[in-house]
Amino acid sequence: MNKTIRVKDKLFEPMIPEEEIREAVNGIARRINSDYAGKEPVFLCVLNGSFIFASDLLRRINLPCRLSFIKYASYSGTRSTQEIRNLIGLNEDLEGQDVIVVEDIIDTGLTISHLLGDLSDKGLSTLRIAAFCFKKDAFRADFRIDYLGMELPNEFVVGYGMDYDGFGRNLPGIYKIVKS
Ligand code: IMP
Ligand code: MG
């Protein structure tokens, strides 16, 4: 993993190798396994981006647990559009449940803020957030990330579930855009 790749019309260079990703996911799983011992958490995965992180994370969880999905869209190309569209809503009763939101990357934080708003009247027992990565310098919201894989600089990335116009999600490592 040391060469520049092309995704659609843009070039990307290697940033985080698979091995480092695996270590970060293991760390999050260990903490959740210990914090939720005796509980049966529901993982609420934010589609599409989180599907790979969610599948890696879930296979390292050794608790009885369930999985649910929600889908928003806020990105268009390499820019956050600031407008969140709800594409697949919550169709499960989460009342009294210990919910862990699973997200690939938190950038401005608007998507998760929107989700937290949607969840606020659902009577959850507890709610925590697990994000694989976080662009601290882009963050404009007001919530805490309980489980974080890694912080990234404020650069556009693809791979490990994250896309550029729908492409690049299948790359096992994380790549950052080459500035032209
Ligand atoms: P936020 O609402 O600005 O926090 O953006 C969150 C969503 O935008 C994430 O769930 C990703 O799907 C997407 N996103 C944010 N940054 C990137 C990036 O660098 N590459 C690809 N997708 C991104
Ligand atoms: Mg996402």
pLDDT per residue over 75-128, tens digit each?
A: 556 666 666 666 666 778 899 999 999 999 999 999 999 999 999 999 999 999
Q: Could you tell me the distance, in angstroms and rounded to a whole number, from the CA of residue 46 to the centre of ligand 2?
A: 6
Per-residue pLDDT tens for 125-155?
Answer: 999 999 999 999 999 999 999 999 999 999 9
Residue of the nearest CA to atom 3 in ligand 1?
108
Long-range contacts, 91-94 (Cβ 8 Å, 24+)? 92/42, 92/68, 94/42, 94/44, 94/68, 94/119, 94/122, 94/123, 94/124
Nearest-CA residue for ligand 1 atom 5 is 107
The catalytic site residues sit at: 107
Report CA dihedral (63, 67, 71, 74) to the nearest 10 degrees.
10
Best residue among 162, 167, 170 to mutate for probing ligand 1, ranked by most atoms within 8 Å of CB: 162
